[in-house]
Chain A
Amino acid sequence: MADLAGAPRPSSSVKLVLLGEAAVGKSSLVLRFVNNDFQENKEPTIGAAFLTQKCNLPTRTIKFEIWDTAGQERFASLAPMYYRNAQAALVVYDLTKPTSLVKAKHWVAELQRQASPGIVIALVGNKLDLTNDSGDGEGTDANDSGDARKVSTEEAKTYAEEESLLFFETSAKTGYNVTEVFTAIANAIPETSLKTARGAGASAAAASRAEEQRVNLNGPRDPNAKEGCAC
């Protein structure tokens, strides 16, 4: 929360939430971004509160706090806390599965309804490695015709433009375009919303006054507090 005075580049935390149908590769994209790693047939996510990764821009450093839905979206039971103060969202679909784009559009609408007004949303079509234009020229490991694409770039892109979303097609498997997504998000986050960091929406003056009363529960306890009364 405190500014890193004297640091070469100002650094700010940005809460980024992940949304999308099950098995479209949300966690794989993040894993590629954070660890530059990919796991085939990864199990559904368990146990990760959120992952963090820095993104260095020429003038500043953005530290992403990446929140996974933890499966709470499965039965439409995502808590409002999940969207709370999110400054960025990654809405992922599988470009070999048209229904996942329908679901992605549902999440975009949900974000526009529930999230902070200034949220930066990126629409990402994942699994480009299963299509003919996999970006790295390697083609595909899908069988027969070789192209499993079912959602055209044009269709998704048109939709993204209508809704003012960032748009990318990626492959978490090959890593194609993954870093680019996060860099584009980092660049798109307005400088003003970084100033007030987590208290987005509050005026700067109110935020600084409010800051005095904010408490860090994980901070060291007064060593005497537990035993003797501090009275």
Chain B
Amino acid sequence: MDEIAPEYDVIVLGTGLTECILSGVLSVKGKKVLHIDRNDHYGADAASVNLEVLFKKYGNYAKGTEPWKQYGRLNDWNIDLVPKFLMSSGELTNILVSTDVTRYLEFKQVAGSYVQQGSGPRATVAKVPSDAGEALRSPLMGIFEKRRMKGFIEWVGSFNVKDTATHKGLDINTCTMKEVYDKFGLETTTKDFIGHAMALYPNDAYIDLKGGAVEAIDRIRLYGNSVARYGKSPYIYPLYGLGELPQGFARLSAIYGGTYMLNTTVDELVYEDGKAVGIKATMTGVDPEMTFETKAKMILGDPSYFPGKVRVVGHVLRAICVLKHPLASTNDADSCQLIIPQSQVGRKNDIYIACVSSAHNVCPKGYWIAIVSTIAETAANHHLELAPGLERLGRIEEQFMGSPIPLYEPLEDGTRDKIFISKSYDASSHFESTTDDVRDIYRRLAGEELVVEGLREGIQVADE
């Protein structure tokens, strides 16, 4: 067994996506990184797992039976634990391209982005219109509302925050999104799909936020630009599941000298004068077990490695479902996102359904994986909160739903104790908040903004 160095610049705990992006970036920048995970696989909470692992994780089968055996080859299943898609013009795409991690991964479009209007059997499910032409064809709006929507979308396209001539007479720095909607005379149901299925806000808090219009417009433009990039939907998704993303960044780190250890538990964080200076850890799965101690200038990791240094800020409800058919009203899409805005089903938070299939090499042919999720609003009866989403799925072959999943946030920013902790993956349908967290952590630990553009240029690369 090789030697562990006596000291590293950074020790990273947990191989989730946030941690792996940071490991990759820090390694390229010449930092000596030791990256550890207690699990026997990459990805931590952002892993993709096979059906056997999923059944065992949720324990929903009779002892002595092996229900996963009726679903074909285990290796054909890559089921995400956290359902998210990449915005094709979003920040994660930018990081992937800038770091060249795209060389290890292949992406495909998500076939459609849908929104629900109304509830129960009479609900309408329709494609989210992303340009003026689609707005005019959309069944989501009446004839006059379509014209108003067309006017709104065209205005968003020409909007320039620096050019007051494009502000329609609004004081854009202080006005709310409600004032913008009212300017165009948009109906409540239209606001609903704009705010929730295009700007992708999980609730209605954004509407009355003073000065919130600019961010909302930016988010609608990100949606529009992302759709325009490849055509079918604003989303892309990696073949073999989201678990490929952390693996890709871990490889980036490794080729720049990062050291990787799975199956390794942290026995103790070592402090000096209130600052973290190293770890004591044990690698299992090898004979004999290897116990070691090493130092580092800083430690970063996911919340599960730092109980007592994080707090719970909410809970996500999530049901992973295996289907043998596509979602209804999605034109038999091999993949899609369906958003049920909160107001349509009497909730405060939206319900998201992310659906992928064999087209993305995440399951054998003939199966679809649909993950229904929302933010918990009650202390019990969580299955009822997800019910409007589960109703959309039709017959469900297998359903995996555990207790509400706590969302953690660090108590401190890490500058005092040199421990930098990431946030849990939130309920949002994409990775924009994850990359915000990556940038935030980088700023805290490096004291400067993360610039990924041109990151690998000018670096001496052996053998290339």
Give me the interface of A with B, judged by CB distance under 8 Å: 22, 27, 31, 43, 45-51, 68, 70-72, 74-77, 79-82, 84, 114, 198, 206, 210, 213-215, 217-218, 221-222, 225-226, 228-231
Q: Given known contacts A45-B462, A225-B225, is B104 in contact with A217 (CB within 8 Å)?
A: no
Q: Given known contacts A45-B463, A74-B259, is B157 in contact with A50 (CB within 8 Å)?
A: no
The 8 Å CB contact of A79, one of B93, B131, B247, B460, is: B247
B172 at the interface (CB under 8 A from A): no
Whose C-beta in chain A lies nearest to the C-beta of B86? A217
In the complex the two chains form, what is the Cα distance from A229 to B41 in whole Å?
40
Query: By the criterion CB–CB under 8 Å, are A72 and B461 in contact?
Result: no
6 pairs from A and B in contact (CB 8 Å cutoff): A49-B255, A75-B261, A75-B262, A79-B247, A81-B251, A213-B232
Which residues of the other chain, A, contact B254 by a CB distance below 8 angstroms?
70-72
| Shortest CB distance B419–A (Å) | 23
In the complex the two chains form, what is the Cα distance from A215 to B228 in whole Å?
13
| Shortest CB distance B301–A (Å) | 16
Query: By the criterion CB–CB under 8 Å, are B225 and A47 in contact?
Result: no
Q: Is the interface of B mostly helix, strand, loop or mixed?
A: mixed
Excluding A71-B257, A72-B250, 9 further A-B contacts by CB distance (< 8 Å) are A22-B2, A48-B255, A48-B463, A68-B255, A71-B260, A76-B263, A80-B42, A217-B93, A231-B153
Query: By the criterion CB–CB under 8 Å, are B236 and A215 in contact?
Result: yes
Query: By the criterion CB–CB under 8 Å, are B462 and A46 in contact?
Result: yes
Which residues of the other chain, A, contact B53 by a CB distance below 8 angstroms?
none
B244 at the interface (CB under 8 A from A): yes
Query: By the criterion CB–CB under 8 Å, are A46 and B256 in contact?
Result: yes
Whose C-beta in chain A lies nearest to the C-beta of B285? A76
The 8 Å CB contact of A77, one of B130, B153, B262, is: B262
Query: By the criterion CB–CB under 8 Å, are A213 and B109 in contact?
Result: yes
In the complex the two chains form, what is the Cα distance from A81 to B247 in whole Å?
7
Give me the interface of B with A, judged by CB distance under 8 Å: 1-2, 41-42, 75, 88-89, 93, 96-97, 100, 102-109, 111, 130-132, 153-154, 156-159, 220-221, 224-225, 227-230, 232, 236, 240, 244, 247-248, 250-251, 254-257, 259-264, 283, 285-286, 334, 359, 365, 459-464
In the complex the two chains form, what is the Cα distance from A15 to B378 in whole Å?
50
Give the one of A45, A77, A226, A228 with max B CB within 10 A.
Answer: A77
Which residues of the other chain, A, contact B107 by a CB distance below 8 angstroms?
214-215, 217
| Shortest CB distance B340–A (Å) | 24
Query: By the criterion CB–CB under 8 Å, are B260 and A77 in contact?
Result: yes
Q: Given known contacts A51-B464, A231-B156, is B286 in contact with A76 (CB within 8 Å)?
A: yes
Which residues of the other chain, A, contact B229 by a CB distance below 8 angstroms?
221-222, 225
Q: Given known contacts A47-B462, A77-B261, A231-B156, is B102 in contact with A217 (CB within 8 Å)?
A: yes
Q: Given known contacts A84-B240, A215-B88, A215-B109, is B260 in contact with A75 (CB within 8 Å)?
A: yes
Which residues of the other chain, B, contact A70 by a CB distance below 8 angstroms?
251, 254-255
In the complex the two chains form, what is the Cα distance from A101 to B230 in whole Å?
48
Query: By the criterion CB–CB under 8 Å, are A210 and B460 in contact?
Result: no
